[in-house]
Amino acid sequence: MKALREAAEKLLREKRVSLVIGYEGRKGRPAFFAAKPEDCGRLAYDASCRQNLAAYLGKPEIRARLPVALVAPPAVLRSIVVMSAESQVAPGQVLALAVDGDSYLGTFDAAGAAELLRAKYSTLAPEPALLERVQGLLQKSPAERAAFWEAEFSKCTRCYACRAACPGCYCSRCIVEKNAPQWISTAALGHGNYTWNVMRAFHQSGRCTLCGACEAACPQGLPLMLLNAALDREALEEFGSRPGYDPEAKPLIGSWSADDDHSYMR
Amino acid sequence: MMKTETSTAPAPAAFEPRITAFVCNWCTYAGADLAGTSRLQYASNMRIIKLPCTGRIDPLFVLKAFENGADAVLVSGCHPGDCHYTSGNYHARRRWTLFRKLLALTGIGDDRLFFSWVSAAEGQKFADLVNDVTAKVRKAGPFRAAHPGRRAS
Amino acid sequence: MKTIETGRLPDLAQALSAAGYRVVAPIEEGGVVRFREWAPGLAIAPGVVPANSLKDFLFPRSEVVARFALEPGGFSPAPVERSAVKTAVLCARPCDAAALAALDAVFNWDYRDGAYNARREAATVVSLACSKADEHCFCTSVGGAPDGVAGADAILRPADGGRLLVLDALTEKGRALDQAAAGALAEGPAALDAPAALPRRFDPEAVGRWLAANFESPFWKEAALACLGCGACAYACPVCHCFDLQDETDRAECRRLRNWDSCGFGLFTLHASGHNPRPDQSARWRQRVMHKFSIYPQKFKTLACTGCGRCSRLCQAGMAIAATCERIEALGR
């Protein structure tokens, strides 16, 4: 971590960024914001760091202080690339302090991060155990699946920690916050919970980098990664979609091909 | 082939499905119109909601239909290449491929969510489609009140 | 002393259930312990602070507060169910029980909330004294204690190294529960375990004084940088009680729902004009801290925080109200 701290310190000293966003060295690894070079001694990173710091790129108070640097494991590097592809950050406004396990891999802009990902992390995919759980669920009957999700969604309190934790959720007014009409019931019950959780996942189609921050943030332990992984695989299998590897990529749902599958359409 | 009755006899409990159809104005709606003017008989369980284009159909509409009591949903529009707005149906198609996967994972499968391309000239196809979908949904039964997507009464 | 083996808590639940109580207890599911309705066969998990609080059972996440039947040409009010089920809460934490006083105050202030009061009256709260605390707990900083009895109708105290629990009834309701539980309890001596040692981290009065005088302090800008404005802390908090009224209509009726809301959400104070008096997260975090440690105590003579630590335990961004209070106290010196 010495190399990470030194790199962060250098960025601040050279005024290449006004803020370094990382994790603090103490237990729980809370988000840490270093504005002065000497603060960087408090930075640390390990596998317990599940928060996706790219979520801060959607926060107005942080955007007002761009350029910033973020401590970024591979999934977060992908998030930065996705945000770049979606024009949410301009080139040079975000620098990634790339990390993986105990290693500091270097400082990269979005384009550089994409190159690193293509070179060293081209096979990132959901964990086999997670995919097995998705398959297991798909093998059950529709009624069993409905019962499973009814039980899970009944725990949802609509705190939107999942939304807050996700860098992809940066809408200034979320679909649940629209009330003319109220598309999604705000009551933390039944159909509202179902609709929210399904639409949240759906709005990440072709954009989710499987960082797991949403599931980690959920106070009720909802298995959100089941939804995310299933969609991720479908997007890959049907459309070859791999979000976060190309800062010029067109959005999956915003584009189309004449050859897209429609075998299920009559 | 003219049909005067729906193609499957109703179940003893006389469950009549309520089916919501989201269709595009230029193709499927016109096709439905043609079915009507041709005096083709088809099941009356479907409530049609007309939109300018399938590209306008937000997947959220499908969930709202289930929430409000639909036993099944049909989405239908112009054949690829024929969209009045050139590419609206291409956008829609890509969306549906992904959305139906998510719905299948959460308990709403091919027995309740249907997609089709019906052109303005395909009145017969529309009538046959409605009859077929209605029969399938009648067989599938009521959308369980216990499905998390349905508003509890 | 009336005792029960810690491992036999389900027997206590069973006895209370047979006596007509709905039993609520901490139950583990999918790796998360939460208070929920107990059913025979379920194990009770008393070892950690559950993810939710007792608030769920007194002030539910969503509740119908008014109902109108829709008819051609008009509408008419329809009755709303206000009954409450006789409930025994087992293994509440002292911080959970202490929070009830703060909720009682606000739900009986300018408007007496009949639904809340009915549920409150129907609930018998049995606390479990804490023999250990984690780094997020701070009840002793806000006037509580790991073996505090405020708000509890009865208390279970660990004994014999945690093997036994000693039941003491504290109120009428507690005595009634004690009687109902008789079959599950044994009589005999037990050596009470020491409650958790939890040093005080800050003085809430000093914090309150600084808060009242430093609304415009630049402290808040930096203090809230990590907060992403979700409602996890407010919803888990045993004292937070803000709500939003929403009408939902279908063909047959309109229901007015009271749903939980959080001051952390960006839209919480958004006016119809577009103006937002709390325009950024620092203003919203300031409001959260001030409400709990300055505004609420001024009005109701009780803090709106009992140090349960849920907010910081589950905040993924690392926001921690106790740490904020420590820093405020240091600023005040």
Encode pLDDT of A231-260 as tens digits.
Answer: 999 999 999 999 999 999 999 999 999 999
Domain total for chain C? 1
Chosen domain end from A120, A143, A165? A120
Distance CA C172, CA B135 (A): 62
Q: CA of B151: which chain A residue's CA is closest? A: A191
Q: Nearest-CA distance from B5 to chain A in Å?
A: 22
**Numbers of helices and strands, H then E, in chain A:** 10, 6
Say whether B98 and A175 touch across the interface (CB within 8 A): no
Q: CA of A134: which chain B residue's CA is closest? A: B105
Assess if residue A255 is contained within a domain. Answer: no
What are the backbone dihedrals phi and psi of residue A128, each rounded to the nearest 5 degrees, phi first? -55, -40
Assess if residue A74 is contained within a domain. Answer: yes
Residue C133 lies in domain: 2-332
What are the backbone dihedrals phi and psi of residue C125, each rounded to the nearest 5 degrees, phi first? -105, 120
Assess if residue A248 is contained within a domain. Answer: no
Residue C18 has pLDDT above 80, yes or no: yes
Distance CA A40, CA A21 (A): 10
Say whether A219 and C61 touch across the interface (CB within 8 A): no
Domain match, A204 and A143 both = yes
Distance CA A212, CA A223 (A): 10
For A:84-103, CB contacts with C below 8 A are: none
The secondary structure of C158-206 as a DSSP string is EEGGGTEEEEEE-SHHHHHHHHHTGGG-EE----BPPPPP------HHH
Domain match, A115 and A163 both = no
Q: CA of A175: which chain B residue's CA is closest? A: B60
CB B139 within 8 Å of CB B112: no
- Angle subtended at Cα C157 by Cα C154 and Cα C161, rounded to the nearest 5 degrees: 165
CB B121 within 8 Å of CB B152: no
Assess if residue A231 is contained within a domain. Answer: yes
Mean per-residue pLDDT, A212-231: 97
Domain match, A217 and A165 both = yes
Assess if residue A254 is contained within a domain. Answer: no
Q: Nearest-CA distance from A193 to chain B in Å?
A: 8
Domain match, A106 and A199 both = no
Summarize pLDDT for C295-309 with one digit per residue, the tens: 999 999 999 999 999
**Nearest neighbour of C230 by CB, restricted to A155, A160, A173:** A160
Assess if residue A14 is contained within a domain. Answer: yes
Distance CA A119, CA B84 (A): 43
Summarize pLDDT for C213-250 with one digit per residue, the tens: 999 999 999 999 999 999 999 999 999 999 999 999 88
Task: Tell me the chain C residues in contact with residue A182 when contact means C-beta distances shorter than 8 Å.
Answer: 246, 248
**Nearest neighbour of A149 by CB, restricted to B96, B99, B106:** B106
What separation in angstroms does the CA of C4 have from each of B115, C157, C188, C194, C196? 61, 10, 10, 18, 20
**Strands A94-100, A103-108: pairing kind:** antiparallel
Residue C135 has pLDDT above 90, yes or no: yes
Q: Where are the alpha helices (DSSP H) in chain A?
A: 2-13, 60-63, 74-85, 110-120, 128-138, 142-153, 161-165, 190-202, 213-217, 224-239
Query: Tell me, what DSSP letter sits at residue C292?
Result: I
Domain match, A112 and A173 both = no
Residue C83 has pLDDT above 90, yes or no: no
Say whether B101 and A234 touch across the interface (CB within 8 A): yes
Say whether C280 and A61 touch across the interface (CB within 8 A): yes
Say whether C31 and A30 touch across the interface (CB within 8 A): no
**Strands C253-260, C154-159: pairing kind:** unpaired
**Residue B13 confidence (pLDDT):** 60
- Angle subtended at Cα B126 by Cα B124 and Cα B129, rounded to the nearest 5 degrees: 110
Which chains sit next to C, with 3 or more Cβ pairs under 8 A? A
Domain match, A42 and A21 both = yes
Mean per-residue pLDDT, A145-152: 94
What separation in angstroms does the CA of A87 have from each of A79, B128, B130? 12, 46, 43
Domains of chain B, first to last: 19-140 (3.40.50)
**Residue C112 confidence (pLDDT):** 95
Mean per-residue pLDDT, A96-125: 96
pLDDT tens per residue across all 153 residues of chain B: 444 444 555 555 678 999 999 999 999 999 999 999 999 999 999 999 999 999 999 999 999 999 988 999 999 999 999 999 999 999 999 999 999 999 999 999 999 999 999 999 999 999 999 999 999 999 998 997 668 888 765
Q: How many CA atoms lie within 13 A of A247 on its CB side?
A: 22
Residue A17 lies in domain: 2-120
Task: Tell me the chain A residues in contact with residue B67 when contact means C-beta distances shorter than 8 Å.
Answer: 191, 195
Secondary structure (3-state) at A251: coil
Kindly give the interhelix angle for A128-138 and A142-153, rounded to the nearest 10 degrees.
Answer: 120
CB C288 within 8 Å of CB C264: yes
Domain match, A24 and A50 both = yes
pLDDT band of residue C81 (cuts 50, 70, 90) is confident
Q: Percent of chain C scored above 70 by pLDDT?
A: 100
Domain match, A137 and A229 both = yes
Assess if residue A246 is contained within a domain. Answer: no
Domain match, A83 and A162 both = no
- The residue among C128, C106, C116, C241 whose CA lies nearest residue C195 is C128
Task: Tell me the chain A residues in contact with residue B59 when contact means C-beta distances shorter than 8 Å.
Answer: 199, 202
Distance CA C74, CA A245 (A): 58
Chosen domain end from A120, A143, A159? A120
Summarize pLDDT for A24-74 with one digit per residue, the tens: 998 889 999 999 999 999 999 998 999 999 999 999 999 999 999 999 999
Distance CA B95, CA A251 (A): 12
Domain total for chain A? 2
Q: CA of B88: which chain A residue's CA is closest? A: A256
Distance CA C108, CA C117 (A): 8
